[in-house]
Structure 1
Amino acid sequence: MKQAFDRDIERTELLSRLSNISSKKRKDLIDEYRRRSEAAFAPETLRNYRLIVRTFTEWCCNNGHNATPPIEPATVAAWVDDMGGKLAANTIETRLWGIAELHRSQFLPSPTRHRLVELALKGVKRRYGSAQRQAPPLGKREVLAVIAKLGDERRDIRDKALLWLATDTWCRASELVAFKVRDLQRQDDGSSLMFVARSKTDQNGEGSYAFLSAKGSQAVVQWIELAGRKADDPILTKSQRGGKVVPMDPATVSRIIKRCVGRPDVSAHSTRVGGVHDAFRLGCDLSSIMVAGRWTSPEMPARYGRRILASQSAAAKVSEAFDKNGGSSMPE
């Protein structure tokens, strides 16, 4: 009878074989892994990975631990304890991914899979909670009010295009700055489809589409024509004349939204959260919301809409029904 595949057993056997190869061959494998990683991972992922390794190394130096792989599970568990209450649980998990990847890159067993580390993470979640911090919502009503107050200066026209793209498409900052002029595909009713070439949930670049309203399309086209952008140029760039035409940094999107809205708490993700809130208020079903935001699972949009869904829950409807009936009995 053929034995079922077991990933853990396969990994253990591989590491056992690697432990018996020559140091030169091992070095060649590590070098090849590094080259392939550069091609396989997104630049942002690689930057995050290097930051995690650097942060961990600094923590080890400051606390008398050895940061050279293979790293002791007890050291990683102590690091998790230290991060508890300072960082969100999902951020700690991301940092553990970095340590695991550091060991994978050297074909070593990862200490993050050790029970000590698992218990440390579970203890942090139990003590401090595992709720993810959610960007405050920025709904379309507030965004349109901001757009209406912007003038006709060059920067204002660029900012209008950015705000329309953000509130209509529900795109992440990394997707917004990646839009090129050729990604704007006009439709007969004046609206447009924005081609999203790559995203957080589409690392292989299969592509998808986001909606841009007729007014949003007009604003974006106005900026493209004013800035003299060509088909392969990025849409969102610096507003100054004569500057180098390069894509805007994703962090700049948040800074512009903060400035335009006049709220320091919002970010580029706020229009994505706000869009979900607006959709739930209008009674849109979860599947259509997933399509609009290009989610592959209902978990995130449902999480974004928790507050709205609570106010639309059965408990809320029962309370409303009794309020309308004077609170004396179940309405007929």
Structure 2
Amino acid sequence: MMTMTIDRPHSLSAALGGPTLPNEVRSRLLAFEEIAVDAYAPATLDLLQRTAMRFAGYLRSQNHKALPEKPEAIVGFIERLGAEQKPASVRAAVAALSTLYRAAGFEGARNPTRSKLVALALRRLDRAKGTRQRQARPVYGPEMARMLAACPHDLAGLRDRAMLTVMSACLLRRSEVVALRVGDVFRERDGTASVYIGRSKTDQTGDGAYAPLNADETAKLTAYSAAAGLDPDDPEQTDAPLFRRVSSAGRLLDRPLSKHSITYLVRRAAARAGLDEQVVAELTSHSLRRGAASEMLDAGVSALEIQQAGRWAGSSDMVSRYTNARTHRRDAAASRRALLDLRESSVIRPYRQQAEPA
């Protein structure tokens, strides 16, 4: 099991000052690290780590002491981040910084991240740069079909075809894709299957969820599994990664794909399919998830059902954000058709004809 101790060069306590911290503060941070490693998701731990290192670097550049209590230091950090990042990312960093301060014992009014000055700095950043978040460009059915058809028939191509199919069908996040194991696929006699998603961003306690695959989707996954020698009924392979790296020689490796490689593979498949370069550049690992959610909306699936299928938290507005642009385009197209019909109707045509020059 992964542990975080002061001996690690990049532990939170070391990043925030290490030996320069007061003994009580360092002890609190060490105790927090021991618990946090099992209490937080890896992505949260990574955010805390990156924030601690960036904040410490900023403090050194300004000759501030470690974990200063003056809110002016936090405001300066916000301005530094705001020059490089979007407001949402800066707010996430400040929230992580607030967690670190609380872990170090700075509660209530002693926590400078909770000061009015910091709140105003964040508001100023929102007004200066806007709060609209850039969303991944969705991949819809026709584009998806081209991407799947363009995947080669070697092992890497079979893997990519199966992975893209499962990502779209199950509305998977990239963290969920790389976490899949061979034993998470349950095939049925009718040629369909279901995929068990053991843990997700909104399911940190590991209750799990099942997502269905139809016969065609299952066939693509089966083709990859057969070529890779992956057998879900083999107890020795149950916990082995499902989607793995493939060597340049075409050999399946034991290491799973990394989260950061998913976007690259999505873009590679799109480039192979001949999609426009600008379109390819706008794709991310979330493009398939967003596209699937939008098409479910078009098919008449309710927002609640989409939310459950994609494992969004009950309080999340992400479904409406994913489908908002699709809804607007659909409504705009319907309005356009109605206007054209009206222009050609008997009500308007006579007036148009009178206005035309002889």
Does TM, scored on the shorter chain, surpass 0.5? yes
Sequence identity of aligned pairs in percent? Answer: 25
Match of 1:325 among 328, 342, 348: 342
Q: Is the 8 A contact 2:150 2:269 kept in 1?
A: no
User: Could you tell me how far 1:152 is from its partner in structure 2?
Assistant: 1.8
Amino acid at match of 2:244: T
More deviation in 269-278 or 240-249?
240-249
How many angstroms apart in 1 are the aligned matches of 2:300 and 2:44? 36
> Secondary structure at the residue paired with 2:210?
strand
Answering whether residue 297 of structure 2 is matched by residue 280 of structure 1, we say: yes
User: How has the CA–CA distance of structure 1 residues 81 and 326 changed in structure 2, closer, same or farther, with 3 Å as cutoff?
Assistant: same
Matches within 5 A, 1:90-109: 90-109=88-107
Q: Is the 8 A contact 2:169 2:212 kept in 1?
A: yes
How many angstroms apart in 2 are the aligned matches of 1:268 and 1:283? 25
Amino acid at match of 2:103: S
Cα offsets for 1:49-86 (capped at 9, x unmatched) = 11111112222223x14151244211111221233353
User: Could you tell me how far 1:27 is from its partner in structure 2?
Assistant: 5.7
How many angstroms apart in 1 are the aligned matches of 2:158 and 2:335? 48
Amino acid at match of 1:292: A
Cα offsets for 1:174-209 (capped at 9, x unmatched) = 101111111112234422211110111111111112
User: Could you tell me how far 1:42 is from its partner in structure 2?
Assistant: 2.1
Gaps of 5+ in 1: 1-22
Q: Equivalent residue for 2:43?
A: 44
Cα offsets for 1:260-319 (capped at 9, x unmatched) = 111232111110111122223333321221122111235101101121111344x76555
User: Could you tell me how far 1:132 is from its partner in structure 2?
Assistant: 1.0
Q: Is the 8 A contact 2:246 2:253 kept in 1?
A: no
Gaps of 5+ in 2: 1-21, 231-236, 272-279, 349-358
Q: Equivalent residue for 2:79?
A: 81
Q: Is the 8 A contact 2:293 2:323 kept in 1?
A: yes
Q: Equivalent residue for 1:246?
A: 255
Q: Equivalent residue for 2:32?
A: 33
Q: Is the 8 A contact 1:146 1:260 kept in 2?
A: yes
Answering whether residue 181 of structure 2 is matched by residue 180 of structure 1, we say: yes
User: How has the CA–CA distance of structure 1 residues 292 and 59 changed in structure 2, closer, same or farther, with 3 Å as cutoff?
Assistant: same
Q: Is the 8 A contact 1:85 1:124 kept in 2?
A: no
Answering whether residue 149 of structure 2 is matched by residue 148 of structure 1, we say: yes
Match of 1:231 among 238, 258, 262: 238
Amino acid at match of 2:326: I
Q: Equivalent residue for 1:195?
A: 196
Match of 1:300 among 318, 326, 347: 318
Q: Equivalent residue for 1:7?
A: none
Q: Equivalent residue for 2:160?
A: 159
User: Could you tell me how far 1:48 is from its partner in structure 2?
Assistant: 2.1
Q: Is the 8 A contact 1:140 1:167 kept in 2?
A: no
Matches within 5 A, 1:48-67: 48-62=47-61, 64-66=62-64
Amino acid at match of 1:311: R
Q: Is the 8 A contact 2:244 2:252 kept in 1?
A: no
Q: With structure 1 as the length reference, what TM-score do the two structures score?
A: 0.84
How many angstroms apart in 1 are the aligned matches of 2:84 and 2:264? 24
How many angstroms apart in 2 are the aligned matches of 1:134 and 1:293? 16
Q: With structure 2 as the length reference, what TM-score do the two structures score?
A: 0.78
Amino acid at match of 2:117: L
User: Could you tell me how far 1:47 is from its partner in structure 2?
Assistant: 2.1
User: Could you tell me how far 1:246 is from its partner in structure 2?
Assistant: 2.3
How many angstroms apart in 2 are the aligned matches of 1:48 and 1:218? 38
How many angstroms apart in 1 are the aligned matches of 2:192 and 2:312? 22
User: Could you tell me how far 1:243 is from its partner in structure 2?
Assistant: 5.2
CA RMSD, Structure 1 to Structure 2 (Å): 2.4
How many angstroms apart in 1 are the aligned matches of 2:344 and 2:201? 49
How many angstroms apart in 2 are the aligned matches of 1:26 and 1:260? 50
Amino acid at match of 1:303: R
Tell me the matched-pair count: 306
How many angstroms apart in 2 are the aligned matches of 1:268 and 1:30? 34
Matches within 5 A, 1:14-29: 28-29=27-28
User: How has the CA–CA distance of structure 1 residues 97 and 303 changed in structure 2, closer, same or farther, with 3 Å as cutoff?
Assistant: same
Q: Is the 8 A contact 1:88 1:133 kept in 2?
A: no
User: Could you tell me how far 1:157 is from its partner in structure 2?
Assistant: 1.0
Q: Is the 8 A contact 1:258 1:264 kept in 2?
A: yes
More deviation in 319-328 or 253-262?
319-328
